[in-house]
Structure 1
């Protein structure tokens, strides 16, 4: 048995089969203990207040009290890290849940094969343990974006890397950058393949940027945001007088796809001392090596501060690598990027 106190989890799902499966996956290690299970949001909210679990897993579609209302009430009364368990059919709902304060999400396996369940088990346990590092009530508020015209000029390029807690953070950065919507922003966000297009579509609706999931051969344009497709990398290459995007598949050596390191390294190689990269919240060390490449090329790397990062793993590793020039609170990053862009027009 582990000497550590097990992480306590409450499972909230209206499906008895899902509750059983999640409990089995969670309790496959002695480091995690399922305190109880709830079949709807109303019962789940009562059990959170009664049992005080470290983490809650949540199905968004439930009777009596739906997942969104559950999140609003939970964050108001007893802020607790929540991991949303989402089906591919309702992937757009995930991003609303993250804005309401959910810590992260996991996709339900499409077929439920043993291989898929094992992958889900590893991801679930990783995120449950990471949730322990979240301060109560911490989340990325979203003040709303302004719709501004995009100037027709050659783009400045900003590369952004994020993982856990990243979707609301990326949105917040773009909203802060809205006063100067001329740069091109390349985003490598750890996310399953079926969710990145929905993420891009959601960001596109807030304006002023045109946001799309990146495709092979896209030409980099000002005022555009390109989201790395899940399961593939996003890299920038120089083609004569223009910049193009490539989306190569991962190799067996790649731990993440998309990889922040791969994006940052390509930006360093192509842009040199004009490169600017931002490392946002996330688990692990992805981005640290790429940040060093940008530093060696004479570019700049900024990192989100520990004060606002949901998980300080990725920005902390980049800072520890000695590659970060500025450490900023999340709300400061967008305006700082706007000021940086204005100086370089």
Structure 2
């Protein structure tokens, strides 16, 4: 039984969350708190498996509390956020501090959406309960050390494209992979499961710490070396070859594997146009999105990599890919960037 403590200053929100979580057969709400100071005492006495934490609360904001929690008593946390442009930086900061995942606060006046919301909330809590918190902490430390590390340089293939797919735990995992790639590295296209207003903020945050230039991908944008293209949170990202150029294409079709953007959609487009001139990577995340696409990439001649279990925050997508035999190689997170550089370096 997964023991959950709910931390939110709204009595109505706590009631809704309690009702949803208590209805799950494998979960139990063991406590509720209306502010972080009350939550601190509940955590000590109840020893919960997962915490749902509101970002904005009285007495102490969620970010400050999360920093203290990860320093003194690390545990899986799902942040409840307002999915707005204003809320995006704070939520992404929470993920960088150590939160496993985040979810929009329930809309109490839209009853018809609560059923779908309940399914997502329960799925995220379940994934958080099984998340490897030690990996989140290690990844944070490595990213901090990497900030000041010099980027290697090299003579890279001019016609090589790298594709990365990720979900839960992916925002920080992607950062760890790309943060020290050199400014002249092969172009990278990325699909991370993320809400619409967050993808632009995420790209901007990455761009501040990477040697490569990071964009939220736009329709028709030319794909060039030294650049990383992040799929917008409400569109599928695909790659189109037109003459000698590669272009980003944004697709507003239905979700695939319940996701938009979907990793499979990106990988399939690259398998069609690039084949052996590409590399594909599946990183941490729940579910199986990207597994079949990675297999099709491999079958087209691409070199494919799956993140290993020990370094994944949630070993769902990499496991699904491994079980399909979709990866040429399985690597820990901190070895993937080096391997990509080897694959992209020109043969002498």
TM-score in same-fold range (> 0.5): yes
- In the TM superposition, residue 292 of structure 1 has moved relative to its aligned partner by 1.1
Match of 2:217 among 203, 214, 218: 214
- Written as runs of structure 1 = structure 2, the 5 A alignment for 1:45-56 is 45-56=40-51
Aligned counterparts of 2:113 and 2:40: Cα–Cα separation in 1: 30
- In the TM superposition, residue 109 of structure 1 has moved relative to its aligned partner by 4.8
Counterpart in the other structure of 2:101:
104
Check whether the contact 2:55–2:79 (CA below 8 A) recurs between aligned residues. Answer: yes
Match of 1:292 among 292, 295, 299: 295
Specify the SS of the correspondent of 1:138: helix
- Written as runs of structure 1 = structure 2, the 5 A alignment for 1:1-345 is 5=1, 7-89=2-84, 90-109=87-106, 112-139=109-136, 140-141=139-140, 142-143=143-144, 144-145=146-147, 154=158, 156-177=160-181, 179=182, 181-251=184-254, 254-343=257-346
Indicate how the Cα distance of structure 1 residues 201 and 160 shifts in structure 2: closer, same or farther if over 3 A, else same. same
TM-score (normalizing by structure 1): 0.91
- In the TM superposition, residue 29 of structure 1 has moved relative to its aligned partner by 2.4
Aligned counterparts of 2:256 and 2:314: Cα–Cα separation in 1: 25
Aligned counterparts of 2:184 and 2:12: Cα–Cα separation in 1: 47
Indicate how the Cα distance of structure 1 residues 298 and 152 shifts in structure 2: closer, same or farther if over 3 A, else same. closer
- In the TM superposition, residue 311 of structure 1 has moved relative to its aligned partner by 0.8
- In the TM superposition, residue 72 of structure 1 has moved relative to its aligned partner by 2.1
Count of paired positions: 339
Aligned counterparts of 1:109 and 1:205: Cα–Cα separation in 2: 32
Indicate how the Cα distance of structure 1 residues 149 and 197 shifts in structure 2: closer, same or farther if over 3 A, else same. farther
Specify the SS of the correspondent of 2:275: helix
Specify the SS of the correspondent of 2:177: helix
Aligned counterparts of 1:223 and 1:109: Cα–Cα separation in 2: 40
1:28-48, Cα deviation, whole Å (9 max, x unpaired): 323221111111112212211
TM-score (normalizing by structure 2): 0.91
Indicate how the Cα distance of structure 1 residues 252 and 174 shifts in structure 2: closer, same or farther if over 3 A, else same. closer
Unaligned runs of 5+ in 1: none
Check whether the contact 1:180–1:342 (CA below 8 A) recurs between aligned residues. Answer: no
Unaligned runs of 5+ in 2: none
